[in-house]
Amino acid sequence: MRKILLYILSGTISISLLSSCNKFLDLKPESSATTGNAYNTKDDIEAALVGAYSVLYTEYFIWDNVLLGDIRSDNAYSGGDAAEVNQYDAVNVSTLNIRIFYSWQQLFLGVARANLVLAKIPEINDPKLDQGGRREQIIGEAKFLRALFYSELVKQYGGVPLITSFGSVDPASSNVARATEKEIYDAVIADLEDALTKLPDSYESHSLSISKATKGAANALMAKVYAQKADRDYNKVLQYCDAVINSPAGYQLHPSYPELFDGQHYDNNESILLTQFIANTPQSNWGPQLYLPPSLTGDSWRKYGTPSKDLVKAYDDEGDAIRKAANILFEDAEWSDEHWKPCPAAGPIPFLYKWKNANGWSSGDNLYLFRLGDILLLKAEALNELDQPEPAKEIVKTIRHRVGLEPITATTKEALRMAILKERRLELAFEGQRWTDLIRANQLNQVMNNLHETILTCDGGSTPINYNLNNNKWLLPIPQSEMNRNNKLVQNPGY
């Protein structure tokens, strides 16, 4: 991965977190080559491709995936002390929230950089670019990345400006209207279909194969896209899940669930695509410092992403000690916590423990973008929806066997649907999946509105939380700054 990061991005959590995090957003690449005759050689376009990959190292993927998938759902509370993060926890996000702008900005930055690669590569006549089919591979990688960034945009905002040429790198300044969700998904699928004709199953090393776009990664994203779009097609989900499972790349479940996240076993056969960080370098991962307790971070401020009582109960009710211990760490903390311990005195509270090594904002812990456990459970979901319950149960049995749990006993389609949804929650907690899983199962409103969450006070009082969730809150609002700059944008309903 050291070859991949020629551009360096550093992240910011928010304006109100600067005193704690000391991180600043810098979206300028090291190279100033952007237009005209700057792209003449294979090395030039390789550097441009690196610029597109480097967006995987921005805060959207380091931090917002947990914020949007887990803190916004029933898996975690905001913790910390940032008002804009608390808005996600309360599912009451303002159009002025700086986080929604950062997410929008960084994902469109990725789109622009992928578009740059696709626009410039036909103009390059360097013979080295055509050796070993590298030109076609680069096109495949750029189209995969553009599809990935647009798949995140459409999940979070719905229909967004669809920009496929380099001439319009900024959807706001160029006044591009919103495409429909269907048009975005159609464009994503078209990019992935073309990418699948150009990408290899693997590269010269396993480490490189799980760090760059491959057929396995494209098939995994395709499966998730067909599952998530409104007119979902579970036959297609099954087709692309099977393409991953049967890939010549040889993906297999890693035998130990805890090892997936211990910082020592990322180079495993379950990995399909991950972001590889390098400790103590500009390419390190600052995310774990946000979550881990003072004993592992060396600081004493209140941490973010506090696991919820409902998630802890879900692990305990299932007897799922292995995944609970891998994902959640209870430790004494001096600060108050309005959900677990309202008075500022020593006492245990849970900490998000998916990453284990904070290393003073310079962790080498990696981030899974796609792994086989997720795809297997997605296949089980597809099989059940296609009225094939027994093979679906066998997949869930395999996932549960890894963590010492008995097979599920669901006897109806609806019961099996809920069992698979629960299994995904326990397996994929803090991997940014829960919110969209609940949407796909049409359970989001019911789950969030039926939560028995309360705000506790030191005098023994408690106030129930009412999320008042409705379909309008499934999406984020378009950032107000973008609405102000682009008079063709229309705000999402409810904002």
DSSP string, 83-111: HHHHHHHTT---TT-HHHHHHHHHHHHHH
pTM of the predicted model over 0.75 = yes
Give the separation between CA 291 and CA 313, rounded to whole angstroms: 20
* H or E, element range at 153: helix 134-157
The residue with tokens 């959807």 is: 171
Nearest partner of 366 among 117, 153, 62, 81, judged by Cα: 62
Q: Let me know if residue 358 belongs to a domain.
A: no
Give the separation between CA 351 and CA 373, rounded to whole angstroms: 23
Tally the domains of the chain.
1
Q: Let me know if residue 339 belongs to a domain.
A: no
Give the separation between CA 344 and CA 453, rounded to whole angstroms: 20
Residue 105 token pair:
């900005």
Q: Let me know if residue 210 belongs to a domain.
A: yes
Q: Let me know if residue 391 belongs to a domain.
A: no
Over its length of 495 residues, how does the chain's per-residue pLDDT go in tens digits?
A: 333 343 333 332 332 332 333 332 233 333 334 444 589 999 999 999 999 999 999 999 999 999 999 999 999 999 998 999 999 999 999 999 999 999 999 999 999 999 999 999 999 999 999 999 999 999 999 999 999 999 999 999 999 999 998 874 455 546 899 999 999 999 999 999 999 999 999 999 999 999 999 999 999 999 999 999 999 999 999 999 999 999 999 999 999 999 999 999 999 999 999 999 999 999 999 999 999 999 999 999 999 999 999 999 999 999 999 999 999 999 999 899 999 999 988 789 999 999 999 999 999 999 999 999 999 999 999 999 999 999 999 999 999 999 999 999 999 999 999 999 999 999 999 999 999 999 999 999 999 999 999 999 999 999 999 999 999 999 999 999 999 999 999 999 999
Q: How many beta carbons lie within 10 A of that of residue 332, not counting itself?
A: 13
Q: Let me know if residue 280 belongs to a domain.
A: no
Identify any residues that bridge with 454 across adjacent strands, giving them in sequence order. 464
Q: Let me know if residue 476 belongs to a domain.
A: yes
CATH number at residue 248: 1.25.40.390
Q: Is 258 exposed, middle or buried (0-12, 13-18, 19+ CB in 10 A)?
A: middle
Give the separation between CA 151 and CA 362, rounded to whole angstroms: 29
Nearest partner of 111 among 65, 135, 142, judged by Cα: 142
Q: Is 67 exposed, middle or buried (0-12, 13-18, 19+ CB in 10 A)?
A: buried
Maximal CA-CA distance, the chain: 75
CA-CA-CA-CA torsion for 391, 393, 397, 399, nearest 10 degrees? 80
Residue 195 token pair:
């990418």
Q: Let me know if residue 299 belongs to a domain.
A: no
Tell me which residue range forms the domain holding 143.
Answer: 25-58+88-258+472-485
> What is the 8-class DSSP label of residue 267?
S
Q: Let me know if residue 231 belongs to a domain.
A: yes
The residue with tokens 């008995």 is: 406
Residue 269 token pair:
């056969």
Q: Is 218 left (phi over 0), alpha (psi -120 to 50) or beta?
A: alpha
